[in-house]
Structure 1
């Protein structure tokens, strides 16, 4: 053991620091790193040791270290401890041009790196590891279906038969399977007037005509849904009732019942996308799948909670459609990668996925509070990993996004989500979960706020 790795006696004085104690510890840590009292490479006390000496809970120290790690100040190494990192600014993740990218709706990865190492180590010790490398069963294994059913129950409160759950290669694969199962080429597909962008290329692949349905502050309007179905002879709907991307709205219980009543009258099958549902504070609203399990195909994914590269999702199917969905999966993928599905099952059945969801909710809540402090006009759902900013007049969405990019920040204008021309609001989506460093996020949000406060420049959109 080197001198640097000996257990240090760092003990910050937080008695005069305002705010929550975990933030006081993180601020003291930053100050001591800046002053040189804690040099680069210094090993920090364990969570338990520092908690005991400060008279706080272990959870408080854990949150403080996590805050400092998000700020790029410290980093953990499995089996060795937590060390001070070089705090010099780095480029924004995924972009060597220095752009702060607030256009990607992801969540920071570092809290789950240790979970991934543990899960991989557990798999490596198994005697049947080679068994995971055979051609997979198209249904997935019983363990994988059980894990999917448990994840749906944990995030929605809906207890389901594992036999109705099909593991998929992520949420988009689940979308593809569900829509292909309930439509035919040339059909019309009803969607929210602002919808997840991937639905547009998928509709092109399946030769479907997208029909936008009007929304209000609580999502789909039942009357508009019925009118659109009648006008276009549509019998399929794709929607995101909880923490909608991009508007962040969640349908209330009465609205959900009204939407499903309309679907029953009009003979509409529904694909319910709940990939952000795990961020909601408890399964307090029944999913559409609970209101009409024979009509709704429910999909979820682990990409937002754990890591996108896992490429594992789950599709809950009505029994009459299960054979068709299995046939589609066999024809396109043969079966889901069993190694990824096994990792996903390990995360879920061990409780690691639910633990991660709890951390993710805390992360999003903190970042929403940060965004609301810096951008007072932000009215997005506090459980959402993105903001939906309606722009003040005379700003136009394209001009605002272009001006923001010129200042080093990338966001997504509403055009990406609009299904039809003519009713696109002047708004932008700002993603707050994917930037690892909180100081970079703060810089990006301050830039957004500063531009919002300025009068719009007269550009081509005004001619």
Structure 2
């Protein structure tokens, strides 16, 4: 039997002759395809650059570019001294039916606990009512015309109201800029305060979407130390001085993936650091609505050194594609120019529906239902995983951060769970750079509709951790 910490390297030889374009892209496309179809499950160790180059009769540089492209897409990741591993398994294409049978009996796909989605079905009626109300608006056609890159004033006013309700953050409508989703808000904010080649400070474990934006903008990510309570302000200052960084991206409330929330003292200290050394903070508050009462945002404490970004994807509906940026007035012209160049103007129909939900008071009720559902799912998860260490996970958020015992390796747990029909995410997916990664996994709680699905998925994870021999069987 192979030792648990020594997974076998597969002899992977993709068929690339029929694929168009450069060889490195063909190899990356074949890699993505074999990950998607399950030929290369998560945790699989890939051939070395030299071995694969020899097998395919291509240069080592071609393999390096192919692996870099796959890593850019979040499919694989490297660990110094251990090799290159599959990071992102095939996506769930159909929901798992709640049949009441075992995972083997269902045989209809995965129980996907890897996507930090929010359960939308309880609020389907509210969405239908809002869209019907929008359809009857006498100014609907006018709202569908070209707007300024900042967004229509009435729609910006609705977002300002939402910020007051959900984040206890009081801003004037003219301070709000509308973007296409949270990812668009992030791209806009980072584009405004960085240039290609700049260093961007990030938390030691960070949101995967941030890494994609940073790569697109040509930014160098430098991770900053955290503890169980989140980002360390002193470490931020040290890293900024050491690397000449002028920007920091962070999630101070219900951080993804660790769920940590910064204390008020740390928030004030972080703002003080930013003012003292000339650092601009990009504060991502997408999960902040779940934390009630809402802690003061970094923007509220330091509006001169903070760009606040968020969206309605977690609190309402991702399909609304409604993101927003609030920042210092001197940056507004720059932000507007970026919005004009990238999207011209916000996605009006989604923002109009969002404004209807906010103005009618339904958005507040949806947020309340989301918090209640999170509490239910957290209670279920903590019951199933009662023997495991969940002390670092905040009860208020949509996912769990689960540090693993020393005798269970995260890659093997992810692979073993997938082979049993459950998909979770290794800590590797959140590491902004090379080096040692915490032995932990993230488990999302609201991506499946039925509590019975979640319970089955969690039971698989719990059994694999309690019986690591079963996990290591994958490496026999």
Pairwise CA distance, 1:433:
1.0
Match of 1:132 in 2: 143
1:43-91 CA distances to partner (integer Å, 9 max, x unpaired)? xxxxxxxxxxxxxxxxxxxxxxxxxxxxx9xxxxxxxxxxxxx974599
SS of equivalent to 1:422: coil
* Aligned counterpart, 1:415: 428
Q: Structure 2 CA distance, aligned partners of 1:90 and 1:206?
A: 47
CA distance in 1, matches of 2:175, 2:166: 17
Aligned partner (choices 380, 385, 392) of residue 405 of structure 2: 392
User: What is the CA-CA distance between 1:407 and the residue it aligns to?
Assistant: 1.0
Partners of 1:154 and 1:245 in 2: CA distance: 22
Give the number of equivalent residue pairs.
Answer: 376
Q: Residues 227-238 of structure 1 correspond to what in structure 2 (within 5 A)? A: 227-238=238-249
Which one has a bigger Cα radius of gyration?
A: 1
CA distance in 2: counterparts of 1:322 and 1:461, whole angstroms: 54
Q: Aligned residue for 1:330?
A: 340
**Conserved? CA contact 1:191–1:237, under 8 Å:** yes
Hey, what does 1:69 align to over in structure 2? none
Check if 1:433 corresponds to 2:439.
no
Residue 373 of structure 1: aligned partner: 383
The DSSP-based 3-state class of the residue aligned with 2:400 is strand
Counterpart CA distance in 1 for 2:216 and 2:102 is 37
Partner residue of 2:198 out of 187, 197, 205: 187
Structure 1: state its 5+ residue gaps. 1-71, 73-85
Partner of residue 269 from structure 1, selected from 280, 303, 316: 280
- Counterpart Cα distance in 1 of 2:108 and 2:258: 29
Q: Distance in 2 between matches of 1:133 and 1:317?
A: 26
SS in 2 for 1:223: helix
1:211 to 2:222 alignment: yes
For 1:276 and 1:339, how far apart are their aligned partners in 2?
23
Do 2:192 and 2:334's aligned partners in 1 also have CA atoms closer than 8 Å?
yes
For the 8 Å contact 2:416–2:471, the answer to whether it is kept is: no
2-side partners of 1:458 and 1:197: how far apart? 26
Question: Would you say 1:122 and 2:122 are equivalent positions?
Answer: no
Residue 444 of structure 1 is matched in structure 2 by: 457
Q: CA deviation at 1:411?
A: 0.2
* Counterpart-to-counterpart distance in 2, 1:87 and 1:207: 44
Decide which of 121, 125, 136 is 1:110's aligned counterpart. Answer: 121
- Give the superposed CA RMSD: 2.2
Deviation at 1:461, TM superposition (A): 12
C-alpha separation in 2, matches of 1:88 and 1:462: 31
Map 1:25-104 onto structure 2 (within 5 A).
Answer: 88=99, 97-104=108-115
Deviations 1:225-245 (A, max 9, x none): 111101110000000000000
Contact 1:396–1:461 (CA<8 Å) still a contact in 2? Answer: no
Aligned to 2:467: 454
Match of 1:176? 187
> SS of 2:208's equivalent?
coil
* 1:260 aligned to which of 271, 293, 316: 271
Q: Which residue of 1 aligns with 2:65?
A: none
| Equivalence map 1:138-153=2 (5 Å) | 138-153=149-164
- Whole-Å Cα distance in 2 between the matches of residues 429 and 392 of structure 1? 14
Task: Name 1:5's counterpart in structure 2.
Answer: none
Q: 1:346 aligns with which of 345, 356, 359?
A: 356
Specify the SS of the correspondent of 1:198: helix
Query: Does the 8 Å CA contact 1:211/1:419 hold for their aligned counterparts?
Result: yes
Distance in 2, Cα, partners of 1:287 & 1:116: 28
Do the aligned partners of residues 237 and 461 (structure 1) sit closer, same or farther apart at CA in structure 2, a change above 3 Å counting?
farther
8 A Cα contact 1:136 1:337, kept in partner? no
Which portions of structure 1, spanning 4 or more consecutive aligned residues, are displaced by more than 6 angstroms?
Answer: 460-463
Where structure 2 has 5 or more consecutive residues not aligned to the other structure, the ranges are: 1-94
1:13-41: CA deviation from partner (whole Å, max 9, x where unpaired): xxxxxxxxxxxxxxxxxxxxxxxxxxxxx
